[in-house]
């Protein structure tokens, strides 16, 4: 997975500035994936990015922080992605959770979207594509009346 920031497309200053108010939570057991996603989110204008190495830690942070968006892995120790997603949505049915995983099976994608995830990003895709997908997902958010 290429994590060089220079490989990502430029983002307009106006969009990036509006995203400074966003809070993101990355829940993934792989440290290199968390670094990759953190760099992608920073390049998209986010500054407040929290991380957890498993679903239990992630849910505890979710309750504490109430992030704008959650990037959630499926396969993790302690508490897997599906159980974590269910807990998050039970606490906040409006939570914006994007599943980030290597599992590209159509049934898996369909199941997580059916459970309430708002999107799905394949983390094994090229960095520029992951960046574009995250950018498109974040473009849908409104924080304090700003897009």
Fill in the DSSP letter of residue 88.
Answer: H
- List, in sequence order, every residue forming a beta bridge with 8; answer none if it has no partner: none
Q: What is the pLDDT along the chain (147 residues), one digit of tens a residue?
A: 333 333 334 334 434 557 777 899 999 999 999 999 999 899 888 889 999 999 999 999 999 999 989 999 999 989 999 999 999 999 999 999 999 988 777 888 889 999 999 888 888 888 888 888 888 877 776 544 444
User: Quick one: 109 exposed, middle or buried, by C-beta within 10 A (0-12, 13-18, 19+)?
Assistant: middle
| CATH superfamily ID and name for 25-105+113-138 | Response regulator (3.40.50.2300)
């Amino acid at each position: 997975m290429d994590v060089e920031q220079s490989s990502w497309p430029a983002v307009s200053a106006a969009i990036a500035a509006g995203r400074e108010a966003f809070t993101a939570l990355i829940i993934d057991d792989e440290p290199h994936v968390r670094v990759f996603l953190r760099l992608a989110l920073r390049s998209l204008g986010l500054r407040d990015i929290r991380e957890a190495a498993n679903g239990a830690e992630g849910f505890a942070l979710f309750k504490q922080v109430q992030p704008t968006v959650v990037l959630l892995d499926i396969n993790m120790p302690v508490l897997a992605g599906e159980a974590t997603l269910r807990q998050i949505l039970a606490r906040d049915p409006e939570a914006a959770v994007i599943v980030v995983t290597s599992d590209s099976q159509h049934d898996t994608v369909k199941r997580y979207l059916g459970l309430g995830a708002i999107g799905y990003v394949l983390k094994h895709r090229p960095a520029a594509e992951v960046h574009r997908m995250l950018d498109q997902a974040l473009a849908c958010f409104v924080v304090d009346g700003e897009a």
